[in-house]
Each structure stands twice: as structure tokens, then as C-alpha cells.
Chains A and B, each alone.
Chain A
Amino acid sequence: MIWDQIWMIIWTLLKIVAIVLPLIIVVAYLTYAERRVIGFMQGRMGPNRVGLFGFKLWGLAQPFADTVKLLLKEIIFPANANKFLFLMAPVITLATAFAAWAVVPFSDGLVLADINAGLVYILAMTSLGVYGVIIAGWASNSKYALLGALRSAAQIVSYEISMGFALVGVLIAAGSLNLTTIVHGQAGGIGHWFFIPLLPLFVIYFISGVAETNRAPFDVAEGESEIVAGFHVEYSGAAFALFFLGEYANMIMISSLAAIMFLGGWYSPFSGDSWIAQPSILWFFMKTGFFLLLYLWFRATFPRYRYDQIMRLGWKVFIPICIVWIMVVAVMKVYHVGPWF
């Protein structure tokens, strides 16, 4: 009996490693993809030199070179910085970014914890990520860092509301907080996916997600041209790498959630019985990849928002649209409109 319990703990740990390790590799190659894709969009080559054993391999070894470089660099503590909190901040960012992955279903039944309130859990975990930013900004004992932290706090609290409202629409449509059940509610081809009845909420969710992860064009918390690098201006070496890792893990998280909630998760866009209509984890990866590409595309395309415009967009545009559309969704649900409800 005791062996059963020990085996269960080991098995759970193995499953966690099986999620986190590929996630870190994906993060590494996302940074590579970002530099290459943005490079191509701007008529450059991007990093294409670092290869293995004398082969260039289109620069595929670049992420590893970057990782090694970051890990070998010294971690510098600013004068009068609060050392404990200074070191805790990147850990908090990374831990909350990874913890949210516990309830993400990759494929039917392929999920670490299939809990009933999965959607609320993810919202709770992603809302905790802001603490890493705030604590980093305060513990650095630097004006730029503090400014970045305050910007980030205001921005994340504002966009969390519209994001939460967008998810309420999904919740009404699917009738469940369980992510697997939400995906099951979208079975049967592209016409059954929730992005059609929830189109405004879908757009608002993804834009809020971009704002929530502090990515361009909402990256005022970093704002290289105004406040140097914002909340992580004092960080170097491995501590900076953790921030980097957390940010990219959150990007992948938002993308995969968009795929799960609005684009039918692991279901194929085709209906019928042919091989291409089979549900598969590959569909999930493709959809997630599409949203990640959007992230990079945004960064290559849009200039940074002005701060008051960000606040205006969040409070005066997104939230009213969300509230109206939630009522529309509720009416559609009551009258069983279309194939979705």
C-alpha cells in the first residue's frame, strides 16, 4: 500500500517533468523563432550562424548558446537591494507560469490534473505572475524598475477584468469550468468551434492576453525606449533568464488557452471520418503555434501603445463590449442557437 503511494508520487513527478521539460525547450526555440521570424519580416536574416560540429544548421543551436551565456554570467545585486525579494521575484514569475500548466489538456485525457474549476485555476495562477514583476521592481531599489512595476501592476489588473469576462462567455457557452469539457463542447469541425459565436470575446481575450504577458505592443512595463528595461533593468545572468523563461512560458500558455477555448483544442477543423478529421495533439500544437506566430507578428508590426491609450482600451472599450456580448451569448444559450449551444 505504501508502495502504491510512493509510486503515485514518482509517477506524478515524472508527468510534471514530461510537461516542464518540453515546455522549456519550446521556450528556447520560441526565442529563436521570434528572432528569425521578425528578422524575415524586416528583411534581415536573424541569427543563422551558431550550429553544431561545424554545421551552421540555420542557427538552430542559438538558444543553447544563449542559455549557456546567461547561466555563466554573474548575478549583480544593486546597492541597497533587498536580496531575498530580489532573488524571489524571478522564482515567483517562473513558478506561477509553470503551475498554470497543470490543468491544460493537451489531448483527450492527456492532462496532469483534470479538475472541475480548471478555468478559475488558470486565471488565479496567471494573475499571480504580476507579483514577480512588482516584487522585482520594488526590490531592485531603482526608479526605472519601480516605474515599470507600477505600470505593469495597473495594466495587468485592468486587463485581467476583460480577460475574465471573455472567459465568462466561454463558460456560458460550454456550461463548464473544466477545460476538457470545454473542448468536448466544440466537437465536430470548424463550424462548431466557439470562436464563431464568441468572436468579439475571442479577439478581446487574445489582445488582453498579449497585454497580460507584457508583450509588444503593450510592453510598457519594459519600455526600453522610456524606462530602459522596466522591472528587470537590474537583473542579469540566471535571474534574468528566469524572467525570460516565465514570460515566454506565459505566452505559450495564453496561446494554448486560446486554442483550447475558442479553436476546439485537439479537434480537427474538418468533419467526417477521414484521417484528416481525426482529433490529434498535432492540431492542438498547430493552433497554439498559430497564436504564437501572432505574438511575433504583433511585435514586428505595431509600435508601442501610449500608456493612457492602454488604459482607455482596457476599461472603456473592452469591458463594455464584453458585458454586452455576454448578454448576447446568454440569449443564444437560452434559445439554443446554431450548432454551438
Chain B
Amino acid sequence: MIEYLLSGEFYQIMLFYVYSAILIGAALAVVTMRNSIYSALFLILCFFSAAALWMLLEAEFLALTLVLVYVGAVMVLFLFVIMMLDIKVKAKSGMSNYTKVGLLVALIMAIEMILLLGKKLVGVLPQDDLVKHAQGHSNVSEVATSLYMKYSLPFELASVVLLVAIIAAVLLTLRRRDDYKIVNPESQVHVKAKDRMRVVKMDAERGNNIGGEE
């Protein structure tokens, strides 16, 4: 018994439950917090716990990429937008109609997913073995092999779709105002002193002997 409690396996399982609990709790907090800044911060905690779970699956490259991309870049922009908007904290509590409809939709989706996946996954999931790789197993090359060799065409297609989405989003929001002021860096760099400044030659004024020394 004590042997088991001290083993790495038990430790790993405990870590899994701790991180899962944090993940679910933070996810609930995201939707229940009234202050949207807190919601965004809890979403960051969600990503972190998910990354920790991926670490437990020995997918360290994916876990770090999750932190790098979602926490390091996407959520920064989220927070950026939330801080720019002037959001008032709502004092009212209780379930709104949206919440009821949302819960209903969530319930239906959960049932559907259980019906669809429940039967399939029972046979597929490993029953009691944790994922284990030999020491020195490279996660990065495994991801690269499947992404660039096995699924290179779908990968390229997905990136093209993303590119289209980026261009569409830019075009949809691009509005040019009439009184738009912009500086041209090239003309700024090539500006000479004589374009901006005029040196005037004039005779020195005669002093009116303020000091009174002479």
C-alpha cells in the first residue's frame, strides 16, 4: 500500500486529478464570473491546467506550444480588447433566460456526444496503462513527421483557409477615414535640415549697458 502511494504512478494520477479539478473549476469560473477581466484570467488558468495535463501525457512540445500561443499571444489580445471596452460589472444575479437555454443546449450536446462516442471509445482507450515513452523520445520530431509528411496536404489546406480568414477579417474591418493623418516614413527619413529650418543672418544688437560697468 505504502509502496503504491510512493510510486510515480500514484503521483501521476494524483497530479492528473488535481489539474483536472483546477481545469474544470476554472472553466466554470470563466462563465460565472461577473467581472470579464476575471473571466479572461480564469481562461488563462484553464489553458495552463490543460497544458499541464498534456505534459502528463508526455506531449511536452504541444503543452508548451499551447502556453506560448494561447496564453502568450491570444489571451493577451483578449485582455487588450476587454480592457479597452468599458464593461460595467453587473450587480444582478440569478439565472437569466440565456442561462436556461444555454444549459438545455449543453445537456443535449452532452447526451449526443455520449451516444456517439461512448460505445466507440470503450474499446479504444487504454484501460490502466499510462502513456510512456522511452527516455530521449522526441516529441517534436513526432509532431513534425505526422504534420509535414503524413498529413502535409490537409495541413497546407488548413493554413490556406486560415490565411483567407485573416484577409477577410482585415478587409471587413478596414475603414479609412477622410481626415486620416499618416506620416510617410520615407519622406521623414530623407528630410534635410533646410526643409524645416531657416537660418537668418542678422547683426548683433548693441547692448544698452545693463550691467553698468563701463
Q: What is the interface of chain A, defined by CB distance below 8 A to chain B?
A: 1-2, 5, 85, 115-117, 120-121, 123-124, 127-128, 130-131, 134-135, 137-138, 146, 149-150, 153-154, 156-157, 160, 177, 308-309, 312
Q: Binding site of A, secondary structure by majority: helix, strand, loop or mixed?
A: helix
Please pick, from B71, B76, B83, the residue contacting A156 in the complex, using a CB distance under 8 A: B76
Find chain B residues with CB under 8 A from A120 CB: 61, 64-65, 68
Find chain A residues with CB under 8 A from B199 CB: none
Q: Which 10 residue pairs of A and B lie closest in terms of their CB atoms, listed nearest first?
A: A127-B72, A124-B68, A124-B67, A120-B64, A117-B61, A153-B80, A124-B64, A117-B60, A153-B76, A117-B64
Given A124-B68, A138-B37, A312-B185, check contact A150 B84 (CB 8 Å): yes
Q: Would B83 and A154 count as touching, CB distance under 8 A?
A: no
Say how far B132's CB is from chain A's closest CB, in angstroms: 16
Cβ-based interface call for B159 (8 A): no
Q: Binding site of B, secondary structure by majority: helix, strand, loop or mixed?
A: helix
Q: Would B68 and A146 count as touching, CB distance under 8 A?
A: no
Say how far A132's CB is from chain B's closest CB, in angstroms: 12
Find chain A residues with CB under 8 A from B152 CB: none
Excluding A120-B64, A146-B83, A153-B79, 8 further A-B contacts by CB distance (< 8 Å) are: A117-B64, A120-B68, A138-B37, A150-B84, A153-B76, A154-B80, A157-B73, A160-B73
With A and B bound together, what is the CA distance between A121 and B68 in angstroms?
8
17 contacts between A and B (CB under 8 A): A2-B6, A85-B41, A116-B138, A116-B140, A120-B64, A124-B72, A128-B71, A138-B83, A150-B80, A150-B83, A150-B84, A153-B76, A153-B79, A153-B80, A157-B76, A157-B77, A160-B72
Say how far B42's CB is from chain A's closest CB, in angstroms: 12
Cβ-based interface call for B139 (8 A): yes
Given A128-B72, A312-B185, check contact A116 B139 (CB 8 Å): yes
Cβ-based interface call for B183 (8 A): yes
Q: Would A117 and B68 count as touching, CB distance under 8 A?
A: no
Cβ-based interface call for B44 (8 A): yes
CB-nearest residue of chain B relative to A1? B6
Say how far A134's CB is from chain B's closest CB, in angstroms: 5
Q: Would B67 and A134 count as touching, CB distance under 8 A?
A: no
With A and B bound together, what is the CA distance between A1 and B74 in angstroms?
44
Say how far B192's CB is from chain A's closest CB, in angstroms: 19
Say how far B103's CB is from chain A's closest CB, in angstroms: 30
Find chain A residues with CB under 8 A from B139 CB: 116-117
Task: Render B79-100 as a binary contact track against A, CB cut-off 8 A, 1 for contact.
Answer: 1100110000000000000000
Say how far A20's CB is from chain B's closest CB, in angstroms: 21
Say how far B202's CB is from chain A's closest CB, in angstroms: 31
Find chain A residues with CB under 8 A from B68 CB: 120, 123-124, 127
With A and B bound together, what is the CA distance between A153 and B80 in angstroms?
7
Q: Would B44 and A134 count as touching, CB distance under 8 A?
A: no
Please pick, from B64, B73, B183, the residue contacting A121 in the complex, using a CB distance under 8 A: B64
Say how far B187's CB is from chain A's closest CB, in angstroms: 14
Given A130-B76, A138-B37, check contact A5 B6 (CB 8 Å): yes
With A and B bound together, what is the CA distance between A131 and B47 in angstroms?
14
Find chain A residues with CB under 8 A from B44 CB: 131
Find chain B residues with CB under 8 A from A5 CB: 6
Find chain B residues with CB under 8 A from A123 CB: 64, 68, 72
CB-nearest residue of chain B relative to A118? B64
Quick one: which of B64, B138, B139, B185 has the most chain A CB within 10 A?
Answer: B64
Say how far B52's CB is from chain A's closest CB, in angstroms: 13
Find chain B residues with CB under 8 A from A121 CB: 64
Please pick, from A2, A116, A134, A309, the residue contacting B83 in the complex, using a CB distance under 8 A: A134
Find chain B residues with CB under 8 A from A2 CB: 6
8 A Cβ contacts from B31-75 to A: 37, 41, 44, 60-61, 64-65, 67-68, 71-73
Quick one: which of B6, B76, B84 has the most chain A CB within 10 A?
Answer: B76
8 A Cβ contacts from B120-145 to A: 138-140
Find chain A residues with CB under 8 A from B37 CB: 85, 138
Quick one: which of B68, B80, B183 has the most chain A CB within 10 A?
Answer: B68
With A and B bound together, what is the CA distance between A160 and B71 in angstroms?
13
Find chain B residues with CB under 8 A from A116 CB: 60-61, 138-140
8 A Cβ contacts from B160-196 to A: 183, 185
Please pick, from B6, B72, B140, the residue contacting A117 in the complex, using a CB distance under 8 A: B140
Find chain B residues with CB under 8 A from A134 CB: 76, 79-80, 83
Find chain B residues with CB under 8 A from A137 CB: 83
With A and B bound together, what is the CA distance between A157 and B81 in angstroms?
14
Say how far B27's CB is from chain A's closest CB, in angstroms: 19
With A and B bound together, what is the CA distance between A165 and B210 in angstroms?
67
Say how far B111's CB is from chain A's closest CB, in angstroms: 37
With A and B bound together, what is the CA distance between A177 and B77 in angstroms?
27
With A and B bound together, what is the CA distance between A116 and B138 in angstroms?
7
With A and B bound together, what is the CA distance between A131 and B76 in angstroms?
7
CB-nearest residue of chain B relative to A146? B83
With A and B bound together, what is the CA distance between A2 and B8 in angstroms?
11
